[in-house]
Amino acid sequence: MHIRIAADVDEQALTDLRSWLGRDPGTRLLSVEPVSGAGPTLSVLEALDITFGHAVDVANFALAYTTWRSTRAGRTAGNGARTLTYGDTTVDISHLTAKELTELIRSLGGQAASGYADNDPDEGRRLS
C-alpha cells in the first residue's frame, strides 16, 4: 500500500518527519521517498511517498506519526505534513489518534491493507 503525506507549505515539517521515521524502530525500514517540485530557485520538498509492506507497518507508522506530531504541538510555525493522500482521496490527519489513523489507512486501502496481513505473524505488535 502506498500513501503520500503533503508538505502543506511547510517543507521543514516533511524533512523532520522523514528523519523521525528513519530513527523510529518501527518505521525505519519503511520505504519513504521524497517528492520534489520546482520552486522559485531550486527544487522544493512537496511530499513524502510512503509504502507499507505489511499491515503492521501501518500501525507502526500511525504511532510514529502521532508521536512526531505531538512533539511539534508547541511550535507556532508551520502545520505541515498533515495531509494524507491515497489514490483520489485526500484527508487532513492532523487531529487523528494513532488508532484512528491506523483505521483510516487500512480502510482507504481496503483489502490491500488487510489482505496481506492474514498470515502475518507480526500483526498487532510493534517491530523493533
pLDDT tens readout for residues 22-80: 999 999 999 999 998 876 666 778 999 999 998 899 999 999 999 999 988 766 555 67
Residues 81/7, Cβ–Cβ less than 8 Å: yes
N-terminal to C-terminal alpha carbon distance within the chain = 21
Most confident of 4-13, 60-69, 77-86: 60-69
Q: What pLDDT is attached to residue 104?
A: 95
The conformation of residue 120, written as its DSSP 8-state character, comes to -
Q: What pLDDT is attached to residue 44?
A: 79
Angle between helices 11-23 and 55-72 (to 10 degrees): 130
The answer to whether residue 81 scores a pLDDT higher than 70 is yes
Q: What pLDDT is attached to residue 45?
A: 87
DSSP secondary structure string for all residues of 58-101: HHHHHHHHHHHHHHHTT--S---S-EEEETTEEEE-TT--HHHH
Cell of 90: 485526500
In DSSP terms, 85 is beta-bridged to 4, 90
Q: What pLDDT is attached to residue 122?
A: 43
Residue 10's contacts (CB-CB under 8 Å, 6 or more residues apart) are 77, 78, 79, 80, 81
